[in-house]
């Protein structure tokens, strides 16, 4: 009974626009008679504390939950396999279970913008130009210190290994309704991924390729997670929202120009230009708090956060091509076994960092 009245949610990338919006919506939408614990993840303690303060202020000034609201942090860097193991170790020590995991990794290795290409694309087809852009320049061949493809590890394999360890440490067992929410992208078409380059080291679209991998690894694992561990896993995406990660390539004129084009695209009928993180978080909140496979909310599709021309939010559900999912799962499981062997004697206390 105690656990039924307590929800513990962990959000990766909590300090970003989408991660913060997910946390705020949890504070508002989780029934106020339940105790809510939000675990903020960050690479640094300073950023974790800053994010927690922002969420505390939001609750105190706007929501004023009547139930207990508390926070914890986990220092977690998906581009560092030791950090992943250490985070799980600390979570196991400090929490009976985790009820909801939001896998909100969205790292890219950008080098800039092809402004000529951007102008041509946005003028010739404004909606396509700001939905499926090809003018973002991405670095090729970037590896992590673990000698893995950086974007591959940050966005897909790191989170996959994190889930693997959470299950191993039995952090879902005591939850009444455990859920994993993968956050993919509207930009995850099969054409972005080569099955001969699963670590995305030869791709000039590594971010989009990583999101395609998320789609495939979800489709390859959700049935086993439910049958073997009673964990419901869902695949979502936030549509198009403003992202702090790309601000470095924009000045005030180009930033507001981008926002203007987003609003134009939405007015012209694009369902994906949500712009605001709050609307972008709609599909993650729906699948974590409200979706029920018994009521037809199936797990084999992708739940997208969408909005009408006036900004009114709704959920748009799309089928996902599952071609290649078995090969991807086989590769991930082989890599997982390799890292289990490498890390079998290594635990680091992240609280001392």
* pLDDT tens column, 200-259: 999 999 999 999 999 999 999 999 999 999 999 999 999 999 876 666 778 888 888 888
pLDDT on residue 245? 66
Q: What is the rounded CA–CA span in Å between residue 183 and residue 185?
A: 7
For the sheet containing 313-319, what is the strand order? 69-75, 35-42, 6-11, 100-103, 179-183, 232-237, 301-307, 313-319
Spell out a b/e string for 130-153, using b for 16 or more CB atoms within 10 Å of the CB, else e: bbebebbebeeeeebebebbbbbb
User: What is the DSSP code (8-state) at residue 244?
Assistant: G
Q: What share of the chain is helix, strand, coil (3-state, %, to 5)?
A: 50, 20, 35
Burial of 209 (0-12, 13-18, 19+ CB in 10 A): buried
Q: Which domains does the chain have, with CATH numbers?
A: 3-352 (3.40.50.720)
pTM for this structure? 0.94
pLDDT at 351 over 70: no
In this predicted structure, which of 68-82, 146-160, 334-348 has the lowest mean pLDDT?
334-348
pLDDT on residue 252? 84
pLDDT on residue 14? 92
pLDDT at 352 over 80: no
pLDDT on residue 315? 97
Given CA atoms 273, 276, 279, 280 in this order, what sign does their dihedral have?
A: positive
pLDDT on residue 1? 43
Q: Are 301 and 222 in contact (CB under 8 A)?
A: no
Find the mean pLDDT for residues 164-188.
96
pLDDT at 121 over 80: yes
pLDDT at 3 over 80: no
pLDDT at 2 over 90: no
**Active-site amino acid positions:** 184, 207, 211
Q: Are 108 and 13 in contact (CB under 8 A)?
A: no
Given CA atoms 290, 182, 319, 189 in this order, what sign does their dihedral have?
A: positive
The overall average pLDDT reported for the chain is: 93
pLDDT on residue 330? 98
pLDDT on residue 258? 86
Find the mean pLDDT for residues 301-306.
98
pLDDT at 143 over 70: yes
Instruction: Name the percent of the chain lying above pLDDT 70.
Output: 96
Which position has the token pair 């080569």? 194
Task: Encode pLDDT of 58-72 as tens digits.
Answer: 999 999 998 899 999
């Amino acid at each position: 009974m105690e656990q039924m009245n307590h929800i513990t949610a962990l959000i990766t990338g909590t300090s970003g626009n989408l991660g913060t919006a997910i946390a705020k919506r949890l504070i508002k939408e989780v029934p106020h008679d339940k105790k809510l614990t939000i675990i903020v993840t960050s690479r640094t303690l300073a950023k974790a504390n800053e994010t927690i303060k922002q969420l505390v202020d939001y609750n105190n000034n706007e929501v004023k939950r009547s139930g207990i609201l508390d926070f914890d942090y986990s220092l977690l860097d998906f581009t560092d396999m030791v950090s992943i193991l250490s985070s799980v170790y600390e979570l196991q020590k400090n929490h009976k279970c985790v009820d909801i995991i939001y896998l909100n990794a969205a790292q890219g290795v950008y080098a800039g913008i092809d402004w000529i290409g951007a102008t041509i694309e946005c003028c010739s087809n404004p909606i396509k130009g700001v939905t499926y852009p090809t003018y973002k320049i991405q670095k090729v061949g970037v590896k992590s210190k673990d000698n893995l493809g950086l974007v591959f590890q940050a966005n897909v394999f790191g989170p996959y290994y994190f889930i693997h360890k959470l299950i191993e440490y039995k952090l879902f067992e005591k939850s009444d309704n455990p859920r994993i929410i993968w956050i993919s992208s509207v930009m995850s078409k099969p054409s972005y991924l080569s099955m001969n380059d699963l670590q995305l080291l030869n791709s000039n679209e590594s971010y989009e390729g990583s999101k395609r991998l998320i789609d495939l690894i979800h489709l390859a694992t959700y049935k086993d997670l439910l049958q073997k561990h009673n964990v419901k896993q869902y695949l979502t995406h936030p549509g198009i929202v403003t992202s702090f990660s790309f601000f470095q390539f924009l000045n005030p004129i180009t930033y507001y120009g981008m926002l203007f084009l987003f609003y134009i695209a939405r007015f012209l009928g694009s369902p994906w230009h949500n712009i605001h993180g709050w609307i972008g978080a709609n599909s993650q909140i729906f699948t974590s708090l409200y979706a029920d496979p018994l009521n037809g909310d199936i797990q084999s599709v992708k739940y997208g956060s969408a909005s009408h021309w006036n900004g009114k939010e709704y959920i748009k559900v799309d089928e996902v091509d599952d071609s290649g999912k078995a090969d991807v799962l086989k590769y991930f499981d082989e890599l997982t076994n390799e890292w289990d062997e490498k890390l079998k004697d290594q635990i680091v206390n992240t609280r001392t960092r």
